[in-house]
Every structure is written in C-alpha cells, then in structure tokens.
Amino acid sequence: MFNKMKIVTAIVVILVVFTAMQAISGSLFFSSLRARQYNFTASNQLSHQQRELGDGWQTLVKTRVTINRVAIRILKNQTDEQSLAAINKLLLAAGASLEAAQQHFNQYRSYPRIDGQSASTADLIDNKFKAFAALLQQSAVFLKANNYAAYGNLDAQQAQDELEQAYQQWRDENMQLINQRSLQNDSNYQQVLIMIAVIALVVVLMVAAVWTLVRRVLLAPMQSVQQQIQRFAEGDLSASLQVAGRSEMAAIAASLNHMQQALLGTINNVRDSADAIFGSAIANGNNDLSARTEQQAASLEETAASMEHAYRDREAER
C-alpha cells in the first residue's frame, strides 16, 4: 500500500487527518465548554433566584412579627400617647419591610426561568407570595384603624404555611436541577478526559504511521538511490536499482535506471567505435606495407632486368 502512494498524496492525507482531528477535538471541547458555561449560568441564576425569594420570604415573616407586636399592644389597650407613637412606628416598620419584601420578590421575578423549572410551581409561588403579602398589608390597615376584630378574622398563619410549602417545593425542585447540572458537569469532565486520552492515542498512532510512511516511501528509496549513485561514481554500472511503486522516489529510480542504460549504450558505442577505428588502422597499415613491398619488388625486377641487359651487351662486344 505504501509503495503505491505518492509523497504528495501522503502529505495531503496527513494534513487532512490532522485537520480533521483538530476540528473534531475543537468541536467537542467547545461543546463541553458551552455545556459547562450553560450549567454554570443556570446554577448562578438558581442561586440568585433562591437568594431573592428566600430574602422576600424572610422579610414577609419579619413583617408579620412586627404586625403581631402591634396587635399585642392594641390587645392590651395601650392607648396612651407613648404607646400610640410606638404602634405607629411599628406600623411604619411593617410597611417598610413589606415594601422590601416586594422588592426582593420583583428581583426574583426579573431573573429568567431556566430550562427544567416547573411553570406550575413558579405560578404557585407567585400566587402564595402575593396572597401572603396582601394579607399582611390588609392586617396593617386594620390595625392602623384599630379594628382588631377584622384583623383577627384574617388567617395569616394559613397563608404563611401555604407560602412556606410552596417555597419548600420550589427549593426542592431547584436543588434537583442543581444536582442535575452538577452531574452533567461531572459527565462532561469525564468526556473531556476520555477525549484527551483518545486524541493522545490517535496522535501516537498517527506519529507511528507517519514515521513508517516516511521511512518506506522516502528514506529507504532515497538511501537506495544514493547507493546507486555512489556505485555510478565508482564506475560500476552493472547493478540495477529496484524500487517498486508509483511514488516520486520510484520515478527517480526509474529515471536513474534509464540513465544507467543510456550510459551503458554510450559506453558500448564508444567501444565499438574504438574497435572499428583500431581495425581500420590495422587494415590501412597492411595495405601500405603491401604497396611498399610491391614497389620494392618492381624496383628489384627493374634492377635485375637492367643488369641482365648490361651483361648481354658485354657479351656481344666480345
């Protein structure tokens, strides 16, 4: 498989795999971070809601205690000027605390309702809080008018108990939501740990695969090419380079083999040419020697003929 892979293709595959890993890990991390941020925001909102509603509930109870103190003074028929001034002061304090309770309740309602909170429980809290606050306000009006009988007909304890039950139910539901958010945070934390472990494992495997790929596709063929070039430098053209595949190194090896064959062809041509030149030189030398021999033989024949002719002339003269 590695032999058929090009280096450029391998680099592109490696970049794509690492980019995909970065994208996947980044998306998972962002998802986990967003979930943790949402859970943190939800827990923070629940905490603010519980604080404001709890403060409003406690302020209403404080208002009722103040009103009860006024009712006790009226029941004791404390009608002197000092007692009346104290009663008016307590009624003013009850009115102030009732207004503070309403402010806490309005602040509680200003926070948005988070996912999972019961709409029916929230409506129950609204109704019971408003009912208890209205009853306390009416109690203050009756006591201020010195109408203790009308005040006595109001069932403040029942209104307080109903609000307390609704508040307890609302708080229990919120605690369940907080626990769910905490469990989700723990689950997200475990998922992040698993994701980190998986990414680390994949990175190790990718490094091993990349090293194997580089060693088989690039380093080993390059070493073979270097050794072949070294043999060429030493004058050895007998060995042929064997690099299979379709990679760039295989193409270089094929080109090197082609160059080797071209060099061998050139050397053979030079050898044939040298042999031809050498043979031609020998043939030319032989022809020249033969011509010189024939020339010398002719000269000898001419010399012999001249001598024979001279001998005949001397014989004739005798």
pLDDT, mean of each 10-residue run, the chain (318 residues): 64 82 79 76 84 92 91 79 84 92 92 84 92 92 87 89 92 86 81 84 85 77 77 72 66 74 77 74 66 72 66 61
Predicted local distance difference test score (pLDDT) of residue 164: 92
The two structure tokens encoding residue 83:
């007692």
Question: Which pTM value belongs to this model?
Answer: 0.59
Predicted local distance difference test score (pLDDT) of residue 316: 64
Predicted local distance difference test score (pLDDT) of residue 317: 61
Cα atoms found within 13 Å of the Cα of residue 64, Cβ hemisphere only = 19
Q: CA 50, 56, 60: angle at the middle one, nearest 5?
A: 140
